[in-house]
Amino acid sequence: MSAQAPSAVILIRAERFTPNPATAADNAFQADAPAGQTDDATAAKALAEMDALAAALRAAGVRVHVFDDEDHTRPDSVFPNNWLSTHAGGMVAVYPMYASNRRHERRSDVLELLKSSYRVQTIVDYSGLEPDGIFLEGTGAMVLDHVSRVAYTARSHRADTHVLERFCTDFGYEPMAFEAVDSEGVPVYHTNVIACIGTDVALIALDMIPDLDRRAQVRERLSVNGRTVVDLTEDQIREFAGNAVELCGRTPEGRRRYIMAMSARARASLRPEQVAAIEESCEIVAVDIPTIELAGGSVRCMIAGVHLDRRPAAEPELTEAVEAINEDDPETLDGSDLIRADEEG
């Protein structure tokens, strides 16, 4: 199975979704709800879109964990990839968030689900950096190449390079930071709106990296293992073509099936040759989410991939010594009395 494409995801079903006014200042992709549309109508439309994404991923054979969120003070909780990422080897990261009204999106029940259903060894929590004004918004701020171990990061208020260095040291990635701006010179707020890395294909708006040398280095690093690089235009980025994610599903017969999940708007912006390049390695699964996209993020932002090994369905049988340790009132704390009894007997 590809290290790049997780076979399970976490989605948050945000029942009180609305574009977040606290993030509008530096998110050029954000928009207001249509004039005259009530908050209740916006929330209802968004819920239907979230459910449609979950259904489409399940139909593709992806394991989907959905958590409901009734809290009206968390308008952006539909985007869990900004506070959580998981990694092979049982590693989990929790991130510091830029907007203060997003910081309570972090949920212990999500972490408990991961620990109970998957093999989690270490949780590294960077959220204590928030009082110091240091932020790194997860796999929004970073686009991770899990195969070559590179963390591509567009510098912004939401992607501090100091904590990027710490993350890369802790998790074994090479940091690759760069400036990325639109045609008006506005910095890109999240790297994952301009870049998507799959196993054999990458989508990226290289022209939005103004430093020509750095642009060439990014292209070279992305393609060094034979990966096809699909160049996206800024117009396509504004249609969320870069905000996609590769996942590993299953066919009805149980065979692996690699998909590229994106919005219908993003899919419609792609040229035929770009679609062909993507579909050489994975099938495009597109879902219409226009209401969610008002918040400045698309399908990739909605998905926190689970790159962890599942726990076995049945617990392993305990040895006699371990059973003794688990007893309510063992004669010795470590069960050594039973071991000695066996040896003497």
The string of pLDDT tens digits covering residues 282-305 is: 999 999 999 999 998 999 999 999
Sheet strands (E) in 48-149: 63-69, 84-87, 91-94, 122-125, 142-145
Residue 340 has pLDDT above 70, yes or no: no
pLDDT of residue 316: 59
What is the percentage of the chain residues whose pLDDT exceeds 90?
Answer: 79
- pLDDT-derived band at 339 (thresholds 50, 70, 90) equals very low
Residue 329 has pLDDT above 80, yes or no: no
- The residue-averaged pLDDT of 178-197 equals 95
Element (H, E) at 272: helix 272-279
Nearest-angstrom CA–CA distance, 301 and 80 = 7
pLDDT of residue 313: 76
Residue 188's region, left for phi above 0, alpha for psi from -120 to 50, else beta, is beta
Residue 315 has pLDDT above 90, yes or no: no
Q: What average pLDDT does the structure give for the chain?
A: 91
- pLDDT-derived band at 128 (thresholds 50, 70, 90) equals very high
* 8 A C-beta contact, residue 46 and residue 88: no
pLDDT of residue 211: 98
256-263 and 245-250 beta bridge pairing: antiparallel
For residue 305, which amino acid is it?
G
pLDDT of residue 31: 78
283-287 and 304-306 beta bridge pairing: unpaired
304-306 and 8-14 beta bridge pairing: antiparallel
What are the tokens at 131?
Answer: 């009082």
What is the percentage of the chain residues whose pLDDT exceeds 70?
Answer: 89
Phi first, then psi: what are they for 298, rounded to 5°? Answer: -130, -150
Total residue count of the chain as it appears in this document? 345
Element (H, E) at 217: helix 212-223
* 8 A C-beta contact, residue 149 and residue 174: yes
- pLDDT-derived band at 29 (thresholds 50, 70, 90) equals confident
Q: Report which of residues 167 and 21 the model is more confident about.
A: 167
Q: Percentage helix, strand, coil, to 5, in the chain?
A: 35, 25, 40
CA-wise closest residue to 297 among 99, 39, 70, 66 = 99
- The residue-averaged pLDDT of 121-142 equals 97
pLDDT of residue 335: 46
- pLDDT-derived band at 140 (thresholds 50, 70, 90) equals very high
- pLDDT-derived band at 218 (thresholds 50, 70, 90) equals very high
- Compute the Cα dihedral for 135, 137, 142, 145 and give only its sign: positive
Tens of pLDDT along 169-181? Answer: 999 999 999 999 9
Residue 20 has pLDDT above 80, yes or no: no
- The residue-averaged pLDDT of 146-165 equals 96
Write down the residue that tokens 């259903």 correspond to.
Answer: 117
pLDDT of residue 34: 85
What are the tokens at 55?
Answer: 């259904």
What are the tokens at 39?
Answer: 């908050």
pLDDT of residue 334: 46
Tens of pLDDT along 230-267? Answer: 999 999 999 999 999 999 999 999 999 999 999 999 99
Nearest-angstrom CA–CA distance, 327 and 311 = 24
Whole-model pTM over 0.75: yes
